[in-house]
Amino acid sequence: MTERGPARAAGQPLDLGDPDLYADVGRFSWWREYAAADAVPWSEAGTSPGGFWSVFSLPACRAVLAPTAPFTSEYGMMIGFDRHHPDVSGGVMLVVADGSRHGQLRSLIMPFLSRQMSDTIGDAVHQRVRRLVADAVEAGRIDVAASIGPVIPADVVGQILGVPAADRDLVIELTNHAFGGADDSFGEMSPSAAHSELILYLAGLVADRRRSPGDDLISALVADPRCSAREVLLNCDNVLVGGNETTRHAITGCFHALSTAPGFLAQLRADPGLITLAVEEVIRWTSPAMHVLRVATADVEIAGQRVAKDEAVVAWLPAANRDPRFFENADEFRFRHPAPRHLAFGHGPHHCLGAALARLELRSLLAALAEFADSAAVINTPQPLRSNLVQGYRHLEVQLDPIAQYRRTERCVSE
């Protein structure tokens, strides 16, 4: 283990899966050091029962996730799983399936998360986001992590799956507990208990679609004879969690990013064509998906380190997205043109299927903020989640100042 990186207690091996390491901004400093050095440190058994290698640089993360790389996701895709402690969903749920089964599931799910779908629902999403932002600007001070952040993706994913609008607050709450459960703000419900509740809720929706099919993703999965009841349920869970839990923190983090870049919204107002660049920078800067895990299917060398068959490797995506060798002044939020392709949506065959919808949500958000807000300022210190899986926020209080010509009456008339 290199001496670079976070400090450790004397005589104690460093467990890079420890969620406490990611609860403050110090992580960016040692991520940067690891990425610049192309370090591949080993973490002994702890949060992962068998230990794991870690990679941080942009090239090393790409190498691990590449389509032809000798790695599999079928034993699990996050710390805690490995060859000898596999995820029971392996080979069944899209995110932990490989080969032909992955291709089959992807072809079923992709139409509901595609660019074409984003075009179909785009106008409705724009109008919903516009109203949320206008109300937030009028309120002035809001906790984005508790309001706008979770609402936008819950609306979109709920529409894709066919979750009734009246149930979306419940789904948000259960997702919070299931994937923010290491954080003490979710202490009244364990992650496993919350996930069980989420599965039970989805089972009810699946049963309803068997009786009364619709035009949503659940109905499409139910209708496919290749999908068992378990596969339908697990893949609905995959889409629900994936669409909610990462995008909400990118949306919340967008406000944080804007607070570090005065004048950014004015530039968007002057040139709306910059929004596409701005969306990619929000995604790179926030990088909500903190890590993905793969297990080697053969001996392989990554960044000069030999990794043996059956050993686990963790790719730290936010570190790769701030690799100082590829992103100049990587900790700054700014327009980047050109810039390397970031890894916030992953890489290779498991590149995020919901990327087009996430981009739609952020594009709508930035357009609405440019329309109504002059600036976004963080009021109190951002409170991050205690998590090694999601780089997100417990609370983010911001002050939104309206642009000079904004008036509530004008907005109401225009709507």
The CB density around residue 411, as the number of other CB atoms within 10 Å, is 17
Average pLDDT of the chain? 91
More confident residue, 204 or 415: 204
Q: Does 10 score more than 50 pLDDT?
A: no
Please give the Cα distance from 346 to 354 (Å, whole number). 11
Sorting pLDDT into bands at 50, 70 and 90, what band is 184? Answer: low
Strands 393-395 and 312-316, bridge-based pairing: unpaired
Burial class (CB in 10 A: 0-12, 13-18, 19+), 141: exposed
**Among 19-23, 50-54, 114-118, 407-411, whose mean pLDDT is lowest?**
407-411
pLDDT for 11 equals: 47
pLDDT for 242 equals: 87
Report the DSSP beta bridge partners of residue 305. 302
pLDDT for 191 equals: 75
Report the pLDDT averaged over residues 357-383: 97
The DSSP secondary structure of 42-93, one letter per residue, reads: EE-SSSSTT-EEEE-SHHHHHHHHSTTSSEESTT-SSBTBBTTB--TTTTTS
CA end-to-end span of the chain, whole Å?
59
Query: For the domain bounded by 19-414, which CATH number is listed?
Result: 1.10.630.10
Sorting pLDDT into bands at 50, 70 and 90, what band is 185? Answer: low
Residues 6+ apart with CB under 8 A from 314: 16, 17, 52, 53, 54, 55, 79, 291, 292, 293
Q: pLDDT above 70 covers what percent of the chain?
A: 92
Sorting pLDDT into bands at 50, 70 and 90, what band is 247? Answer: very high
pLDDT for 2 equals: 40
Sorting pLDDT into bands at 50, 70 and 90, what band is 172? Answer: confident
More confident residue, 337 or 83: 83
Q: Which residue has the tokens 């932990």?
A: 96
Q: What are phi and psi of 294, to 5 degrees?
A: -135, 155
pLDDT for 243 equals: 87
Please give the Cα distance from 174 to 158 (Å, whole number). 14
Report the pLDDT averaged over residues 383-397: 93
